Structure formats: C-alpha cells, structure tokens
Chain A
Amino acid sequence: MKLLIVDDEVEICDFLKSFFEERNYEVKTASSGQAALTAAEQFKPNVVLLDIKMPGMDGIQVLGTLKKKFPRMKVIMVTALETRDKIEECLRLGADNYITKPLSLEYLENDVREKIEALTSSGAS
C-alpha cells in the first residue's frame, strides 16, 4: 500500500503523511509537480493524492503525465478548486476521483482503500 501525497503546502503533506502512516501505509510526499513525477518514477505508488494549484507545473499537468506513463496508478485529485471545468478536465485526463478541501478524513481514507482494493483485485484476475 504505497501512497504518494503531492501538495505545495508542506504542512498538509506532513499531516496526511502521519495520518496514513498510522494506518499502515507506506507514504512519500512531494511539494511540487516536478518532484511528484520524480517520486512517482522511483517510488511507484499505488495511489497518488494530487493537489491542483501548485506553482510551476500544476496538478493537471502532473495528472496527464502520470496517466500516460503509469496507466494503472490511481490518482485522486485533492483540491480547494471546485469549478465544473476543472473537474471535467481532471476526469477527462483519467483522474480516479476528485475530492475538495476541506475534506472528511474518513471519506478520504475509504476512497484510498477502495482504490487499492480495486488494484489488487484487478491485478489478481
């Protein structure tokens, strides 16, 4: 259960990292789009939690690249942005879910678990 958390706010990365580590996930964090791509390459996470609004390469660009390179990697967009256009664009690019901040931790954890379960069951078949 490998999870990559991408957010330019280090505080958010740290908080979510400790939340998921306590729940027995293996977690890495990245605070920029570029760092996210590098981490994905090396760490090969099952699920990526991806913020949209980041300086430089934004989450939508990262999403596009990730889905091209690693089609099986599950990407959950976690963002404060909530415009219809953005949501549609993310889904078009293959995002597996779109969660807006402030979020319910319970919902987030359930969603991550679901994605991983889907991966393992499809991998098994």
Chain B
Amino acid sequence: MTSYDYQEALKNAAKTMVRVKNPRRLLKMIVRFIVKEVGLSHASILMFDQLKSRYIFVDSKGSHRIPINLIKLDQSNPLIQWFSDPAPKAKLNKDFLACTELTSWLQNSEMTHHNAPLKARLLQLKDVLETLKATVCVPGFYKDELLGVLILGNKLKGGQFSLEEISFFQTLANDASMAIKTAEYQEDLLSKNLQLEKQKRELEIRLQEIAELRKKEQETYYQIVMSLAQEVNAKDPYTAGHLKGVERLGIMTAQEMGYDLSGRKKDVLVASLHLHDVGKIGVPDHILLKPASLTEEEWKIMRQHPSKGAKILEPLSGFKEVANVVLHHHENYDGTGYPDGLRGEKIPLEARIVSVVDSFHAIVSKRCYSKGQPIDAAFKELERCAGTQFDPHVVEAFIRAYKRTLNGKHHKEESAHRLAS
C-alpha cells in the first residue's frame, strides 16, 4: 500500500467505526481489513475481558490464525505486562513491539550482566511472540487502560513493516479502543435506561393496583352505606320500601324543571334521594321512632342527622356532591333551615328537590307522629310553604309533574299511592 492508500484506508475505517455500534463486529472488520488490504499471514485481536480480567482473542484471520476461544492471556502474561506496566522499558519502543527489534536487542552486546532481569523478561516476551507467530504487536489504549492488542503476522510479500504501516496500525488500534469504550458507555447507559423504564412500569402497575384496591374499597363502602340507608328506612315501618317511589318522584321533578340529567348528574340525584336520611342511623331509636312530639333536646339530636349523613359519606371520593346534598337537605328556602341556614339558590338544587319530595312523603304517609293525609291536602301544604320552607319553582314543578302522571293514569287514588309508595 502506498502512503495515499493508508490515508484513504484510515479515513474509511474511521467512518465505519462511527457507524458500527457493536464493538465485536468492528474488531472483526478491522482484522479482515488488515489481512486483506495489507496482506498478512495472520492478524488477531486480543481484547480485555473485564468480567474475568483476562485478555482473550476475539478474532483471528489468515493462514496462521490463532484459534478463537482456546487461549487466554492473564494480566501476568509477559506480553500484557509489557504494555500495561508503566515502568520504563529500556530503550525499546513502547508504543508497539516488533519481533526484529526485540531480537536485535537480545543480541546486542550491551545486554550485559546487570541487565539480567530485563533480559529474562525480554526472553519470555520473545517466547510469547513466537507462540503467537507475531511479528508486530500494537497496543490499544483508552486513557491508561490497555483495552487490547493487535497481533500481526508476517507480510506475505516479505520484508519488514515500515514505520508508516505501524503508525497506521496504531491509529487503527487507538480508534478502535475509543469506539469500544464509547460502545461500552452506550450499552451501560442503555441498560440503566431500561432498568429505569422497568422500575417506572412496576411503579405504574403498583399505583394501578392501589387505585383498584381503593375503588374496590369504595364500592364495598358504598354497599355498606346503601344497606345503612335501607336499614334507616326499614326502621320506620311507614316509610319502609318507599325508596323506589322517592327516586321516581325526584327524577320526575328534576325533569319537569328542565334540569339536565345527563352524565353523572342523574347518579348524584338518585344517590341523594336514597341516602339523604342515612345519618338517622346515628339517631337513637327512642327519638327516631317516638310516637309523640319530640322535646327540644330530642329535636337537637334529630337535627344532627344531615351532618351525620354527610360524615358517613365523606370517605367516598366519588360522593362529594351527594354528601353536600345530604348535608343541606333540611335547609329552608328562606334561610331558616339547618345546619348552615343557607338561602335560596345557595342550597344545592338536588337538596331542594329532596326536601320537597321528602316532605310530601311525610305528609301522605301515616307516620308515627301524624296521620296520613290525602294528596290534595299535601299539595296545599307544599304550596303554603313554598317560598319559605321550599323553593317555589320546585314545588310548582313537583305538583305539575305529579298531576300530569295522575291524569295520564286515570286512576287517581290508586296511582297516587303507587307513585308515593
């Protein structure tokens, strides 16, 4: 190869090294390239195996190639020592090792008595070179770390390597070392990245599991709350089994008012209609079921049931609106109700509807403290309290819807009872 050829070859090799991400493949390419382009009996690459801290052959090509996977060179091997030991190496060139140079040194008359240790070392080194049939060895460093050794056989055309050729191999060896280190770092980064991704996925799965558990827990809690509500109703023999009727009347009223029941709004209304009295579970039976008027003290306790109900619903994250309706279903339109004395539109609409439907029920059903009254009397009572206790719009809508249903059925009393029950 001419000087121009080497420069071209180097340029091409450098370009390839940038592209090849797998260092092993890169080394194989280098070995093939050298054997073919330079024309050698063989070329081999020794590479550092970090895991087992030894040097192994990763590739060897040519007629005198070294079998891959047969030999390892320990760090104590004379050849490895020669390159990795930073101690000065006599007058020998330490950037590469040429067999001819070594031989001439050993034959040199200067190699006298006091050089015995060095001579022994060089003899061992020569032995290794002969075993590997190496003419020239070129180390590849990254910083001060010996990453590998390029081992070259004879030139097929005969003759010694020129300095230009050796410097070409050195450049190749060092570029390859750089490429190997870069690939190692990239691989390291990649595996760290993968690990992070894995941890992230695991975390997501855990979070999802927690969310599902929470959901399940909430569902269970909701079941408990619903059975509490039924319990409360069952306690009062006159309202037992009325929940379905209350639900129907409430929805009817909301629709009559033109209230949008799409999405979750219907669920909130229905749940509120069912659960508004759930707090009564905290009211003692002797007050709740007393067949006479309540004393002031007893009323005080009775009036706690909306806030008790809201408290029961508190742990249900999806029931914030329902809890608010439950809390305010005894507020009056004129602000005289409890617990907060809210007025007018400040009271949630659902609570205003619950208030009317619940009161209607109380009037028409034969509760323990008063005899049941006919539907017309109940309407009159609602109208009388419209604007004070009740939202007049709700009362109006309720009566209109109720009457329309009655007319539609043509069975006044019967239907009324079915609706109310």
Contact = CB atoms under 8 A, between A and B. Distances in A.
A106 B72 contact: no
A16 B67 CA distance: 10
A85 interface: no
A102 interface: yes
Contact of A103 (B66, B71, B130): B71
B70 to A, nearest CB: 5
B131 A103 contact: no
B74 A102 contact: no
Given A19-B131, A102-B56, A11 B67 contact: yes
B69 A104 contact: no
A15 B131 CA distance: 9
B419 interface: no
A88 B66 CA distance: 30
A11 B61 CA distance: 12
B73 interface: yes
B67 A9 contact: yes
Interface size grouping (class) on chain A: 10 to 19
Contacts of B66: 15
Contacts of A104: 71-74, 77
Looking at A9, A80, A102, A106, the one whose CB has the most chain B CB atoms below 10 A away is A102
Contacts of A11: 65, 67
Nearest to A15: B67
A30 to B, nearest CB: 16
A101 interface: yes
Contacts of B65: 11
A103 B72 CA distance: 5
A80 B69 CA distance: 8
Interface string B63-84: 0011101111110010000000
Interface string A88-123: 000000000000011111100000000000000000
A78 to B, nearest CB: 9
A12 B70 contact: yes
Interface string A1-19: 0000000010110011001
Contacts of B69: 80, 101-102
Given A11-B65, A15-B66, A102 B130 contact: no
A11 B44 CA distance: 14
A101 B70 CA distance: 5
A15 B73 contact: no
Contacts of A80: 69
A22 B128 CA distance: 12
A102 B71 contact: yes
Interface of A: 9, 11-12, 15-16, 19, 22, 80, 101-106
Given A12-B67, A101-B69, A102-B71, 9 more contacts: A15-B66, A15-B67, A16-B70, A19-B131, A22-B130, A102-B69, A102-B70, A104-B71, A105-B71
Interface of B: 54, 56-57, 65-67, 69-74, 77, 130-131
7 contacts: A9-B67, A15-B66, A15-B67, A101-B69, A102-B57, A102-B69, A103-B71
What are the nearest 7 A-B pairs in CB distance? A102-B72, A11-B67, A12-B67, A102-B56, A15-B67, A12-B70, A102-B71
